A and B are shown apart, each in its own frame.
Chain A
Amino acid sequence: MSDSIITANDLGNGLVVFLTADGGWSQRLADARVVGPDALPEAVAYGKAQHDARIVVEPYDIEVTLENGVPVPVRLRERIRAAGPTVAYGEAEIAERAALSKAG
C-alpha cells in the first residue's frame, strides 16, 4: 500500500511546508512524516486542525515513494511544488544563460 505525506503552505510567508513527525511543519521534504494508509486519516485530520488553527493554509495529502528513506512525491506537480521551479529565475537565470552561451 502507498505512503503519503501532508503538505500545506505557511500562513505568513506562503511557502510550501510538510507535516513533520513532531506535529510541526518544515520546508524540507526530507523532514516530512511518512504515513501509511492506516495512519493517513489521523494525519489529514491533524492537518485540517492546523488549518483551522490558522497555522497553515490548505493542507492536503500527497502520495510518495521512499528513496533512500526520503519521501519523493509520485506526481510531477508535487515534485515541482516540493523542489521549486525547474527553471532558474532572476539573476540566476541570467547567469545560467551567460554560462551556456560561453560554453556554446
Chain B
Amino acid sequence: MYRYDEFDQDFVTDRVAQFRDQVERRLSGELTEDQFKPLRLMNGVYLQLHAYMLRIAVPYGTLDSRQMRKLGDIARRYDRGYGHFTTRQNLQFNWPKLSDIPDILAELASVEMHAIQTSGNCIRNVTADHFAGAAADEVADPRPYAEILRQWSSLHPEFVFLPRKFKVAVTGAERDRAAIQVHDIGLHLKKDENGRLGFAVYIGGGQGRTPMIAKKIRDFLPEEDLLSYSEAILRVYNLNGRRDNKYKARIKILVHETGAGEIARQVEEEWERIRHGALKLPQGEVERIREYFAAPAGLAAKAPSASLASARQADPEFDAWVRQNTFPHRVAGHVSATISLKPIGGTPGDATADQMDVVADLAERFAFDEIRVSHEQNLILPHVAEDNLRAVYDGLVAAGLATANAGLVTDIIACPGLDYCALANARSIPVAQRISQRFGDIGRQREIGELKIKISGCINACGHHHVGHIGILGVEKKGEEFYQISLGGSGDENSAIGDIIGRGFSTDEIVDAVETIVDTYIARREAPEETFLAAYRRLGQGPFKEALYGTA
C-alpha cells in the first residue's frame, strides 16, 4: 500500500491546522457563510438536508485495517455509528458537527487519510478497478498511476478553479470494472505490441443531466507521458470549458460542442509543447511508486484448497456465497472476496462502526491487511487464500455482511436521495429496499442472473442510473415522487446510456414495474446464460414497453 512520505504527512497535517483555524473563525463569527463555504467544500464538508456531511477520500478505494478501524472509531465517537460508502469509492459521514470536524480530520491524518478535493471544482478522488493488483485478467495494477495522478492533482495550482469538477478513473484490465467511459478522463492501462505499458485515453464521459459516453482520443499513450498528457487535457478544458452555465461546464459538453477530433487536436498540440518538460515520468519514480503496491509478502501460489471443496459441499449457503461473491485471483489458490453492503432490505453502501471493525479484523487476520471500496458500494478483500474463505465467511455471517448477491438484482447502487441529500427530488433508498425485498429470495436472484439496478434521486445521477441495466431516476411531479425507468445502460467496456422506456411510475407502482421488466426478460431470454443486458440489446424496447404499458 502507498505510505505517506514526509511531504504528504506535512501537507495533510498543515491542512488540518489551516482548516481548524478557519472553522474557529467561522464559529466565532469572523467568517460569513459566503466566505466559509468555498473553504469547507475544499475540505469535503457539505451542508446537506439535515446536517453537515463530511466526505472522506479513499484514494483508488484502497484501505488497510488500521484505516478502516479509524473510520469505525470516528463513526462511533463523532457521528451516529455508521457511514456510507459511495460510488466514488469514498466514505460519507452524515451527521458530524462542524465544531468536531477539525478533530475528525486530525484523526484521519493520523492514519494517512484526508478529505481534500472530495468536493469543489477540482480534480476529485481518482478511482480504480476494485480488484486492482489482484484480478486474474489484469495487465498491470492501475493504482500506481492513480497515485501518481493523485500527487500531481493535489492542490495543482492551475487546476483548483476548474469550470466544474473533474473525475478520473483508471482500469488495468480489458474488462472495465471502473466505469472509465463515464468519466472526464478514463484511462485504460494496457501493453502495446512491444510489451510497453501505456494507456488508451478517453475523455468527455459523464452522467448527470447530460449523459455522454467518453470518446477515445488516443489509442496508446506511453506510460512516461501520463502527466504531461493529462495536463494538456486539463489545460485545454480549463481554458475553453464553459464558465457561464454550470450545467454546461463539464468537459463532456466541451468535447460534444467542439467535436472529439478538434479537442484531440488541441490536446495533442498542447502536449507537444510540454511533453519533454518537467512532467515526463522518470522510470525510477514509477518503479518507486509501483513498489508501494507490490503484492503482499507471503502471497504465493497454493494448490487448490481441499478444505474449501469439502466446506462448500457441506454447506450450500457457503457454497452460494463463494460462487457469487468471489472473483478469480492472479495467484493460484487465492480469490478476491466481495463483502456485500446490500443486505436484503438494507441501505445500499451503509456500514455500522461495528461492521467496519469486523471487516478490519478479517482483513488483518485473513486477507493481508487490504480492503477495497468498490464503486458499486461494496467492500472487497482483494487477497484471500482459499483455505481462509470459510473463516472469512463465518466472520461476515456473524456481522450480517455475508449476503451472497454480488452482481445480482439486489446488489443495487442507490444515491442517498431525498432521505439525506439537499439536491434530491425523490427518495432512492426506500425504493432500493423495496426492490431488494421483492427479489430477496436467493434462488430467484440466481435464476435472474447478472442484473445491475441503479437508482438516482435526481438528475445529477449520483446513483449512476444512466448506466444501470435497469436505471431508475426519481423526479418530483406535482409534489409527488415519480420514477422514470431506463433500460440497457451499462458502465463496462461496452458502455451505453440507457433508453428511457416511457412515462414514469408512482412510488406504489415502481417495484411492480421493475418486476414486470424482470419477468419479461425471463420469459423472453433465449437461455439462462443470456443476461438481461444481452437480451435487451437483442430484443430492444418493444417487449418491455408492451409489458409495462400494453402498447408496443
Evaluate whether A87 and B33 lie within 8 angstroms (CB atoms) in the complex, with A94-B352, A94-B400 already known. no
Evaluate whether A87 and B433 lie within 8 angstroms (CB atoms) in the complex, with A14-B98, A76-B479, A93-B346 already known. yes
Q: Is the CB of B80 within 8 A of A89?
A: yes
For residue A42, CB closer than 8 A to chain B, the reply is: no
For window 34-76 of B, CB contacts with A under 8 Å fall at 47, 49-52
For residue A91, CB closer than 8 A to chain B, the reply is: yes
CB distance from B112 to the nearest CB of A (A): 26
- A90 — which chain B residues lie within 8 A by C-beta? 80-82, 350, 352
Q: Per-residue CB proximity of B334-362 to A under 8 Å, as 1/0?
A: 00000000011111001010100000000
Q: Is the CB of B26 within 8 A of A54?
A: yes
Q: Is the CB of A87 within 8 A of B49?
A: no
For window 58-82 of A, CB contacts with B under 8 Å fall at 58, 74-77, 80-81
Q: Is the CB of B419 within 8 A of A14?
A: no
In the complex, what residue of chain A is closest to B351 when comparing beta carbons? A90
For residue B32, CB closer than 8 A to chain A, the reply is: yes
- A89 — which chain B residues lie within 8 A by C-beta? 80, 82, 94, 347, 350
For residue A13, CB closer than 8 A to chain B, the reply is: yes
For residue A6, CB closer than 8 A to chain B, the reply is: no
Q: Is the CB of B352 within 8 A of A51?
A: no
For residue B481, CB closer than 8 A to chain A, the reply is: yes
- A58 — which chain B residues lie within 8 A by C-beta? 33, 47
In the complex, what residue of chain B is closest to A87 when comparing beta carbons? B429
- A1 — which chain B residues lie within 8 A by C-beta? none
User: Which of the four size classes fits the interface of chain A?
Assistant: 20 to 34
Q: Is the CB of B49 within 8 A of A13?
A: no
Task: Classify the secondary structure of B's interface with A.
Answer: loop
For residue A39, CB closer than 8 A to chain B, the reply is: no
Q: Is the CB of A11 within 8 A of B49?
A: no
For residue A103, CB closer than 8 A to chain B, the reply is: no
Q: Is the CB of B99 within 8 A of A51?
A: no
- B429 — which chain A residues lie within 8 A by C-beta? 85, 87
- A85 — which chain B residues lie within 8 A by C-beta? 50, 419-420, 429
For residue A20, CB closer than 8 A to chain B, the reply is: no
- A28 — which chain B residues lie within 8 A by C-beta? none
- A9 — which chain B residues lie within 8 A by C-beta? 47, 51-52
- B26 — which chain A residues lie within 8 A by C-beta? 11, 54
For residue B29, CB closer than 8 A to chain A, the reply is: yes
For residue B156, CB closer than 8 A to chain A, the reply is: no
- B47 — which chain A residues lie within 8 A by C-beta? 9, 14, 57-58
For residue A84, CB closer than 8 A to chain B, the reply is: yes
Q: Is the CB of B99 within 8 A of A86?
A: no
Q: Is the CB of B418 within 8 A of A77?
A: yes
Q: Per-residue CB proximity of A6-22 to B under 8 Å, as 1/0?
A: 00010111111000000
Complex Cα–Cα for A37 and B328 (A): 65
Q: Is the CB of B343 within 8 A of A14?
A: no
- B344 — which chain A residues lie within 8 A by C-beta? 97
In the complex, what residue of chain B is closest to A98 when comparing beta carbons? B400
Q: Is the CB of B33 within 8 A of A57?
A: yes
Q: Is the CB of A81 within 8 A of B50?
A: yes
Q: Is the CB of A84 within 8 A of B418?
A: no
Q: Is the CB of B99 within 8 A of A12?
A: yes
For residue B430, CB closer than 8 A to chain A, the reply is: yes
Complex Cα–Cα for A93 and B427 (A): 17
Complex Cα–Cα for A51 and B418 (A): 25
For residue B209, CB closer than 8 A to chain A, the reply is: no
CB distance from B404 to the nearest CB of A (A): 16
CB distance from B519 to the nearest CB of A (A): 22
Complex Cα–Cα for A11 and B29 (A): 10
Q: Per-residue CB proximity of B426-463 to A under 8 Å, as 1/0?
A: 01011001000000000000000000000000000000
Contact of A97 (CB < 8 Å), options: B94, B343, B418: B343
In the complex, what residue of chain A is closest to B343 when comparing beta carbons? A97
- B81 — which chain A residues lie within 8 A by C-beta? 90-91
Q: Per-residue CB proximity of B4-19 to A under 8 Å, as 1/0?
A: 0000000000000000
Q: Per-residue CB proximity of B404-436 to A under 8 Å, as 1/0?
A: 000000000000001110001101011001000
- A53 — which chain B residues lie within 8 A by C-beta? 29
- B31 — which chain A residues lie within 8 A by C-beta? 54
Contact of A75 (CB < 8 Å), options: B29, B95, B346, B479: B479
CB distance from B140 to the nearest CB of A (A): 39
In the complex, what residue of chain B is closest to A57 when comparing beta carbons? B33
Q: Is the CB of B50 within 8 A of A54?
A: no
Complex Cα–Cα for A73 and B347 (A): 26
Contact of A86 (CB < 8 Å), options: B425, B430, B480: B430
CB distance from A76 to the nearest CB of B (A): 7
Complex Cα–Cα for A89 and B80 (A): 9
Task: List 9 additional contacts besides A77-B424, A84-B50, A85-B50; criterion CB under 8 Å.
Answer: A9-B47, A9-B52, A13-B97, A14-B50, A16-B50, A54-B29, A80-B419, A89-B347, A93-B347
Query: Hey, which bits of chain B sit against chain A, CB under 8 A?
Result: 26-27, 29, 31-33, 47, 49-52, 80-82, 94-99, 343-347, 350, 352, 354, 400, 418-420, 424-425, 427, 429-430, 433, 476, 479-481
What are 29 of the A-B contact pairs (CB < 8 Å)?
A: A9-B51, A11-B26, A12-B99, A13-B52, A13-B97, A14-B51, A15-B50, A15-B51, A53-B29, A54-B33, A57-B33, A57-B47, A58-B33, A74-B479, A76-B476, A77-B49, A77-B424, A77-B476, A80-B49, A81-B49, A85-B419, A87-B419, A89-B94, A89-B350, A90-B81, A91-B352, A94-B400, A97-B343, A97-B344
